[in-house]
Amino acid sequence: MRQQLLPTSWTAYADDVAHYCYVRCLDFGNLYEVVRVTHDKHGQQAEFVHQIIFMSEYNEPAMTEILKGFGYESLDAFVCETNGADADPAGFVTRPDGSIDRAASPSWWIDYMLFASLLAEHVEGRMMSVQAADDLANAVVVMSPIAPNPFCIRRTFGGQLVSIPLREDEVNMICTIKDEQARREHLLDEISDLGEDDPCFDGCSLSSLLDNEDLLADIQRRWYHYNGHGGDHTENLREAVTVTIHTHFPKV
């Protein structure tokens, strides 16, 4: 799985000497890079934040929880304010109950750059000297805006050490891991939806199956294979579960 990065220019969302925040888009609606520096009131230390934001990690409840910390009651409230509902009410269509019909509202879209800047304010950074924080931010945003710079931060993801800013191969690795995690979560949800009493489990408890990584890997492999040949996905899953259980636990 390849993730092509198309970085935009940096945009300032706070531009004070003692508090500044920059955001740029790496992949629209998906990946955003943020840099924030906040000096303490004594001017002795500063908090430095530099992260890649994966928007797929934030569903609406998670976004709403963060937005509440900035005075927004809901995602709709955030979108309405940022996209000028007062100045352009025609851009937002309301239902009889007063809620917004998002699909019918041409002005309903999420400003992910702004949301990323709020996330930069929300997350905790590293404390260091003011000079070190300013040098780091300058290196990332000004001196070397595309290539990795001498002040790269290293962190572990998926058991591997990666740099911040991420290199393209590291973004590909992270996206591959996240894709695998999403596929596994989808499989677990689909198996759980079958219900404990579904005959495909053939006496195997649902809880023990969900805790068995080897079984799940085989079920996933068979399910994708069966789906590739057509048919109903749920029935394909039942068949994959039954065959896998019989393969791992053959009856005497």
Q: What are 188-222's pLDDT values in tens digits?
A: 888 888 888 888 888 888 888 888 888 899 999 99
Q: What is the pLDDT of residues 138-166, one digit of tens each?
A: 888 886 544 334 344 455 555 655 555 56
Q: Cβ(72)–Cβ(92) under 8 Å? A: no
Residue that has been written with the tokens 């928007």 in this structure? 55
Per-residue pLDDT at 165:
56
SS3 160: strand
Q: What is the pLDDT of residues 93-130, one digit of tens each?
A: 889 988 889 899 898 999 999 999 999 999 888 888 99
The band of 3, judged by pLDDT with boundaries at 50, 70 and 90, is: low
**CA separation for the pair 182, 223 (Å, rounded):** 15
pTM, to two decimals: 0.57
Question: Which residues, other chains included, contact 177 with Cβ-Cβ below 8 Å and sequence gap of 6+?
Answer: 157, 158
Average pLDDT over residues 73-100: 86
For the chain, helix, strand, coil in percent to 5 are 45, 20, 35
Q: Cβ(28)–Cβ(131) under 8 Å? A: no
Residue that has been written with the tokens 């019918």 in this structure? 104
